[in-house]
Homo-oligomer: A and B are copies of this chain.
Amino acid sequence: MTEEFMIGELAKRTDSKVPTIRYYEQIGVMPTAIRAHNNRRMYRNSHIKRLMFIRHSRALGFTLDDIRDLLALSDQPNHTCAEVDKIAKNNLENIQKKIRVLSIMEKEMQRMIFQCHGEKVSECLIITALADHAIAEKIKMTTSEKNDATITNHLG
């Protein structure tokens, strides 16, 4: 029942790269994998879930530190409500802001596609739409994230 597989299979099933998985183990967001007799890392379905979660979150601009917090919520079900509440509320706001900005981008893209009737496009308002002081004000950017790198995004 509890199917086991190696790192290459895990990489395939989560659409990530083998060195990335080893890197996640090294920095502690993935657990230290149990080794088979031949020293190879063995994984199960739970590892797919965890890795999927990490990859989705990274693709959306969450840092590995953010992700560590979120994973902690899941890893330690005996957190107090205050802790959960703080992390979850923080992230909820973060998520909602991202959705708001993405929705503006979405509308602008749709407008651009819609406007394309075979002639040349006379004016592209995407920057104005997104960087406009008024809009920026409305979205009320507040807090800040940390460093990333080389996201192979699952979200396209």
A-to-B contact residues, CB < 8 Å:
15, 48-53, 56-57, 59-61, 63, 70-71, 73-74, 77-81, 84-85, 88-89, 91-99, 101-103, 105-106, 109-110, 112-113, 116-128, 130-133, 136, 139, 141-156
Taken together, the copies of this chain in the complex come to: 2
Nearest chain B CB to A148 CB, angstrom units: 3
B49 touches A127 (CB 8 A): yes
The prevalent SS among residues of A at the interface is helix
Nearest chain B CB to A5 CB, angstrom units: 14
Checking B74, B122, B142, B152 against A77 with a beta-carbon cut-off of 8 angstroms, the contacting residue is: B122
A56 touches B119 (CB 8 A): no
B116 touches A84 (CB 8 A): yes
Checking B50, B103, B139, B153 against A131 with a beta-carbon cut-off of 8 angstroms, the contacting residue is: B50
Checking B50, B133, B145, B149 against A152 with a beta-carbon cut-off of 8 angstroms, the contacting residue is: B145
Q: A60-B61, A60-B101 are in contact. Are A124 and B77 (CB under 8 A)?
A: yes
B130 touches A81 (CB 8 A): no
